[in-house]
A and B are shown apart, each in its own frame.
Chain A
C-alpha cells in the first residue's frame, strides 16, 4: 500500500515539475525580459528547448496534466480505501450493498426485506449470475447447429507455437544463408574461412531441424480436416442427459478416435515475480472409442451419441486466479498425419440456474 501511495505521489510531483518547466519556459520567461548571456539565450531559443516545435510544448504540457490527473485519482482511490478490510474492499468492488446500523435496529429477522436480497426491479437470476463466477456461454448460444441445437466452438490451440517455430526456422535459415554467402565470397576472393565453413555444417543441421518442426506443425494444423461437434442443449446440468453429434472431415485413415468429457482444475499462482499456472484433470469420462476409422472428403466420419453428466458434478467456475473448466475432447491417432486433439469448451451450470433461450 505504501509503495502504491509513493508511486502516485511521484507521478503527481513529476507532472507538476514538467508542467512548471513548460509554463516557465514558454509563458513567464518571454515576459520577464531578463538580460541573459548569449549562450543561454541560444539554448532557450533552440528547437530542443522549445519542445521540438510549436505543438511540442503543448503536448508535453498535456502529458504533464494527464500525469497529475491520473496521479490524483489513484492517490484519492487508495486513500479512500486506506484501512479498509479485505471484505469491505471486496464488497465495494462487487457493489454489494453495505448495511449494518439500519439492520441492527431490529434484532429479529426481517422477513419482508432481507438485507442483501436483489432489488425488486432486477431479475433475481441476473443478480445470482453476476456473483456466481460462471463463465459466459454466449458464443455457443449464438451458434446454432445443423443436426442438433448448438454447434460448439473449438479452442484454437497451437497457433502461437506455429508462429514461434516459423520465426525460428526463418531467422535461423536466413542467418545460415548469410554465413554461407560469407564463406562462398571468401573462397571466391581467395580468403578461405575453414572454421566458419565447419561451423556452418552444424548451423545447417539446426536449420533443417527447425524447418522440419515447422512443417510438422503446419501438417498437424492444416492436414487434419475440420471437426464439428453439436449438442442438443447447453449449458449442461449435473445429472442431465445430452445428445452429441460429431463429424470429422478430411482425407485420412485413423487408427483410433476417442471422445471424452473432461473437467479440469486450473490455478494461477505467483512464484517470485513470475505467474505460474497448474492444471489437474479432476474428471474424465470416455464417451466414444472407435478403431480403424476411414475419413474421405466425400464421406466424413459421423457419429451421434448420448451421454450423461454425473449428478454430483461440480459446475464451471471462473475467478481471477482459479477456474474449473469442462470440455469435450476429440482426439485421433492418424497416419501419415500426426495425431490430433481438439477441445470444445462447454459450461456446466449448478442445478438451480435457468437455461438460456434457444438460438432459433
Chain B
C-alpha cells in the first residue's frame, strides 16, 4: 500500500509529535481487537526539520489477511490512522478507512508477495480530509475521513 499524507491548518510549533499507523480493528458487538501493521512516529524535532509544507510518503506491505468484512456481529475495518499530539497535551486522531479484498487465484498461477504489493489487492487510499492528504486513488478507497473514538 502506498499513500501520502500532510497536515494542514495546524502550525508546526503547536505539534509535539505525529503518529501514522496502518491498522485493522474490529467493530460491532464484541470488544475491539486492534492490530497495527505499520507504524511511524515523528517527534517534534523531526517535524520542525521537515516542516509541514511537503506531503510525506507512506508505504507498507499488507498481510494477506484479515480481509475487510461486514457481518452481523462484527466488522473488520482497515484504516490509515494519524494521531497528532499537540503541545498543550491534547491529541487528535483521525482515520481514513479502506477496503482490503481477496483476489481469486487464477488456475495454475501462484501470485508472489511482490505482485500483491504492486497489485490491486493491497489497497491504496484517497484523501485524508483533516490532514489534506494527497493519496493516490483506487476503486477500493472510500472518500471520507472520520474521527477516532478516544
Residues in chain A within 8 A of chain B (CB atoms): 85-88, 90-91, 94, 96-101, 103-104, 106-110, 114-118, 124-125, 127-129, 131-134, 237-239, 265-270, 278-280, 282, 311, 314-315, 317, 319-322, 324, 349-354
Contact = CB atoms under 8 A, between A and B. Distances in A.
Interface of B: 2, 19-23, 26, 28-43, 45-46, 50, 54-61, 63-67, 69, 71-74, 76, 81, 83, 91, 93, 102-105, 110-111, 113, 116-117, 121
Given A100-B42, A129-B63, 20 more contacts: A85-B91, A94-B36, A96-B36, A99-B39, A100-B40, A100-B41, A101-B42, A101-B45, A106-B57, A109-B2, A110-B59, A115-B58, A115-B59, A133-B35, A267-B28, A282-B71, A282-B72, A319-B26, A320-B33, A322-B26
Nearest to B62: A128
Nearest to A277: B30
Interface centre among A116, A132, A238 (most CB of B within 10 A): A116
B42 A104 contact: yes
A335 to B, nearest CB: 35
A354 B26 contact: no
26 contacts: A87-B34, A88-B39, A90-B34, A100-B41, A106-B57, A107-B55, A109-B2, A109-B59, A115-B58, A117-B60, A124-B61, A128-B65, A265-B74, A268-B30, A278-B29, A279-B73, A280-B72, A315-B65, A315-B67, A321-B33, A322-B73, A351-B102, A351-B103, A351-B104, A352-B121, A353-B65
Given A238-B102, A350-B102, A87 B63 contact: no
B19 A87 contact: yes
B42 to A, nearest CB: 5
Contacts, number: 189
A103 B40 contact: yes
A120 to B, nearest CB: 12
Contact of B39 (A87, A238, A320): A87
B29 A269 contact: yes
A123 to B, nearest CB: 10
A98 B40 CA distance: 6
A269 B110 contact: no
Nearest to B18: A100
A103 B43 CA distance: 12
A104 B61 contact: no
A128 B26 CA distance: 18
A98 B41 contact: yes
A99 B72 contact: no
A80 to B, nearest CB: 15
Given A87-B21, A114-B117, A280-B72, A107 B37 contact: no
Contact of A87 (B33, B43, B83, B104): B83
Contacts of A114: 59-61, 117
Contact of B76 (A109, A278, A317): A317
Given A128-B64, A282-B72, A104 B30 contact: no
A12 B73 CA distance: 43
B34 A86 contact: yes
B36 A91 contact: yes
Interface centre among B40, B113, B116 (most CB of A within 10 A): B40
Contacts of B76: 317
Nearest to B23: A87
B65 A322 contact: no
A242 B54 CA distance: 53
A128 B30 contact: no
A119 to B, nearest CB: 12
